[in-house]
Amino acid sequence: VVVVTPTASGKTLCYNLPVIQSIMEDPNARTLYLFPTKALAQDQLAELTELSGQLGKKVQLQLGAFTYDGDTPADARKAIRTWAHVVITNPDMLHTGILPHHTRWSRFLGNLRYVIVDELHTYRGVFGSHLANLFRRLTRLCRFHGSDPTFIMSSATIANPLELAEKLIERPCVMVNQNGAPSREKTLVFYNPPV
């Protein structure tokens, strides 16, 4: 699925809600979030933690969400591999820190339900071709460990989101591009100043 709607239209909920639901239904379910920058990853971790905390007050929910990047301490990495329901990382760390060590990540990869790719529009050109190879490796290793995750990608408005998404993951995609976010009434005023 590729979700393409304007900023602040609820794209984050489009992937956070299915992730949380899958974990509630099966505590072994795992999800990989990919963000191009550390700052965005930290923002999304805070939002996911807040949402799961609010839901946790009403329903039984134990959600372990952690960032896994170059700054993650070595002693925390093993715990994240073993216990995290959600791993938030970037393409470089997926390439160098996760996929080459897939045997250590077998529990995570074998239970991977979703791969979330945010900021799809940044993965174009040469960088996009590298990412397509990375997704090819990830998909192959997931199948090796017994899973076939669903990709949920989101982007701000771009000209060819469906084509880009399908080229990146080499699978047919469904595009959601209708903005259901509420907006205030707008008044347009045309003023033609005197000559």
Query: Tokens in use for 50?
Result: 């807040």
Stated pTM of the model? 0.87
pLDDT in tens, 22-58: 998 999 999 999 998 888 888 888 888 888 777 767 7
Q: In a 10 Å sphere around its CB, with 0-12 CB exposed, 13-18 middle and 19+ buried, how is residue 39 labelled?
A: exposed
User: What are the two backbone dihedrals, phi and then psi, of residue 31, each rounded to the nearest 5 degrees?
Assistant: -140, 140
**In whole numbers, what is the pLDDT of the chain averaged over residues?**
89
What percent of the chain shows pLDDT beyond 90?
Answer: 53
